[in-house]
Amino acid sequence: MRSRPIVSLLAASSAYALPELSLSKRDRHNNGATTHYARSVGLNKRADTVSSNIFDVESWSFGGAYYTNVSVGTPPQLQTVILDTGSSDLYFDSSSAETCQTSGPESCQGGTFDKTKSDTYNEFEASPAFNTSFGDGSTAVGPYGQDMIGIGDVVVSPVQFGLAEEVDTSTGYSIGLLGLGYSTNEAVSGTTDFYENLPEVLARSGEINSRLYSIYLNDADANTGTILFGGIDKTKYKGDLTTLNLIPAAFGDGQSTAIVNQFITTVTGASATVNGRTKELWSGGRDGVSAYSSNNALPVLLDTGSTAWSIPSSIFNNLILPQFPYVDRQGLCPCSHASSSDSLTLEFGGKVSIDIPARQFIVPVINSTTRESVPYSRSEDACAFLLVPTDPSSDGSLYEPIGDAILRSMYVVFDLDNGQVSIAQANVNSTDAPDIVTVAAGPTGVAEAVSGVSTAPSNTWSIAPEVPGATSAFSVVTAATPLGTATGVGAVPASAQVEGEEEGGSSTSSGEKGGKSKGAAAGRVSMGSMELNVLCGLAIWLVAFGCGVGLIV
C-alpha cells in the first residue's frame, strides 16, 4: 500500500485540551527482502470456508481499528493483529524487541511471538530481510520466518511472516498486522521475492476455492464483526450484492500501474441528509479509470486499516463540511449528533448505493487513560467527525482510502482472482444464525453462490496473479481449539484489557479471553498520552481548510 501520512483530527477548545488523533493508516513499505520458497502443490482437501470474528479495541489506537486473533508456532502462541485490506504482509512483534519489554504508550499490546519457544519455527531469511517502514514514521525490522499459523478452525503450515525484532512506533501501541491485499504489494525488494500471503496460502492449500473473502465490520456500537474466507454469509447484508470491477492505481505524474493490485473503486455520487433535508453533493460520476480525470467521481481504496474517509481538502471544504455545520474547525462536534437521523448516501461504481448513518462516522472521544468521555461543553461530550480533509499524497497517487467510518455500513466480498468486489448494504446488528455459502473459483463464482447478484463483465485490466512460478504444498489441519469464535468483549485477549473495568467476556483454552469489558463502545475514538500533539493537529486542520481550489461539480 502507498504511503499514508498521518491525518491529525483533534485539537483543543480553550477549556479542554485534546491530543492528536491519527485517522489514516500509514502503509509505505520499503527495504524489505525475501527469497522465494519453492514447494510442490498438494490439494487434498475439499474447499470450504474459514471464519474468524473481528473486533475493535478503541484503546490501542486513535480512532480505533479492527483486529482478529490468530496463533503462531507449536505450541500455539496467541496473537492479535490488525485486519488490513490496504496492505499484504503478515507480521508479529517479537518478544525480544525492546519496545515489547515496556508497558508504556508504545508497548506491544497485541501479544508477542517467542521463536525460541516454538518447535516448528524456521528462520527463512535472517534480519534485516523483513524491513518495513510506514508513513507515520513507524518501523519494523527483523527476519522472515515460517511456522504454523492458526486462524478460525484451521492451522496452516508453513506460512511466511515477518518477525519484528526492532519496533519503533510513533503513534501508539505496537500491534502485529494481517495484510489481506495482493501479494504483489508485500514489503520485498524485488518482483521475484514475493511470497504467498495468507489469502493465497488458504487458496493454494485447497482450504478455499480462490483468493476471496468477505468482511462484515458491523455497527460502530457492536462488539463483533466477521471475516469469512472463501464464502459469503447471506445474513450479513440487505438486498442484493452488486459486483464492481476494480481499477488500477494512477498517479499525478500520469503514470498508472495498468494492473489491478489494490481494492480501488469509485464513488460516483454522494448526498447528505442533515436535519431532515437531503442535499446532492455530486452525481453522474464516471466509473473506471476515467474517474481519475473526472470532476464528479472520487477514486477510493477500500481499506479496513484506515479509520476515516480521507477526502481531498477542496472537496471536503466546499461540499462536505457545509452540510454539517455543527462540526467545528478541529473536526469535533457534540455527541448528540451521532444519534441523530443525519446520514450520507454514497454511490459506488455507478451501480450500488450505500446509506451510512451518522453514528458510523461520528464517534465519541474517549480518554484511554481515565476511560472517560471527553467533554465538548458543559452538557455534551466530544465526538470526532471521521470524514477528514487530506492534501495530495507524497507519492502522487490519485486515490484516497475510504476506511471503517464508511465500511461499517457495507458488506464487501473481496475477489482477488477476478479483480472485483461485490458490495451490499450491511445488515448491522444482525441476530440471525449465519447462512454461509461457499464461493466456487472462476468469474461466475459469486453469482452462482447467491441469487440476485448484479454482475459485472470480466475485468479487462490485468489482475495481479498468485506468486508467479510458485509450486506450494501446505499442510492444513483442523485446530484443536478454534480461534475467532469468542464474541463481544470475550474476543479481546486478557492482556489487552484495562484494569479496573467491569469483568466480563468468555474464554477458551487457547487463551482467547476477555477478562474485562471495554469501558467505551467499539468504534469510539481514544485519547492517549500524546497531549503535546494538540497544536500540530490544529495546524493541519487549519491548513487543510485553506487548501485547494478544485471542486466536484
Report the CATH number that the domain containing residue 69 is assigned in CATH. Answer: 2.40.70.10
The residue among 2, 17, 16, 23 whose CA lies nearest residue 540 is 23
Nearest to 324 by CA among 266, 381, 279, 382: 279
Is 153 catalytic? The answer is no
Judge whether residue 525 has pLDDT over 70.
Answer: no
Residue 281 domain-assigned (yes or no): no
pLDDT value for 177 = 92
Max CA pair span of the chain? 66
pLDDT over threshold 80, residue 10: no
Is 502 domain-assigned? yes
**pLDDT level of residue 174 (50, 70, 90 thresholds):** confident
**41 Ramachandran zone, left/alpha/beta (phi>0; psi -120 to 50):** beta
Per the prediction, the chain carries an average pLDDT of 81
For β-strands 50-56 and 224-229, DSSP reports them as antiparallel
What SS3 state is found at 527?
strand
Residue 85 DSSP SS3: coil
Residues 214 and 50: beta-carbon distance below 8 Å: no
CA distance 443 to 245: 11
Segment among 92-101, 142-151, 421-430, 483-492 with least mean pLDDT: 483-492
Q: Enter the C-alpha cell of residue 123.
A: 528462520
Whole-number pLDDT of residue 369: 65
In a domain, 61, yes or no: yes
Question: Is 126 exposed, middle or buried (CB count within 10 Å of its CB: 0-12, 13-18, 19+)?
Answer: exposed
Q: Domain count of the chain?
A: 1
Residue 500 lies in a domain: yes
Is position 545 within any domain? no
Tell me the CB-side half-sphere exposure of residue 147, using CA atoms within 13 A: 31
Cβ atoms within 10 Å, residue 501: 15
Catalytic residue among 27, 56, 84, 219: 84
CB 528 within 8 A of CB 62: yes
Q: How far is CA 4 from the centre of its chain?
A: 13
* Per-residue pLDDT at 80: 92
Residues 6+ apart with CB under 8 A from 234: 435, 436, 437, 450
pLDDT of residue 39: 29
Mean pLDDT along residues 261-282: 98
Q: Give me the DSSP letters along 111-123.
A: --B-GGG-TT-EE
* 89 a catalytic residue: no
Q: Are 532 and 98 in contact (CB under 8 A)?
A: no
Average pLDDT over residues 499-526: 41
Give the pLDDT band (50/70/90) at residue 7. very low
Alpha-carbon span 367 to 141, nearest angstrom: 31
Q: For residue 154, give its domain range.
A: 56-208+468-512
User: Which residue reads 474464554 in cell numbers?
Assistant: 507
| 358 occurs within a structural domain | no
Map grid coordinates 442533515 to a residue: 274
Report the alpha-carbon distance of residue 446 to residue 415 in Å, rounded: 9
Residue 452 domain-assigned (yes or no): no
**pLDDT value at position 44?**
38
Residue that has been written with the C-alpha cell 518478544 in this structure: 95
Which of 103, 56, 355, 345 shows the shortest CA–CA distance to 222? 56
In angstroms, the Cα distances linking 220 to 21, 307, 372 are 18, 11, 18
3-state helix, strand, coil in the chain (%, to 5): 15, 35, 50
pLDDT of residue 20: 33
Mean pLDDT, range 375-391, rounded to an integer = 94
Question: Which residue has 473506471 as its cell numbers?
Answer: 288
Report pLDDT digits (tens) over 19-77: 333 333 434 343 333 333 222 233 334 569 999 999 987 667 666 789 999 999 999 99
- pLDDT > 90 in the chain, percent: 59
Question: Does 188 score more than 90 pLDDT?
Answer: no
**Residues for the chain: how many in total?**
553
Three-state DSSP state, 317: helix
Instruction: Catalytic residue, from 56, 193, 219, 303: name it.
Output: 303
Q: Does residue 394 lie within any of the structural domains?
A: no
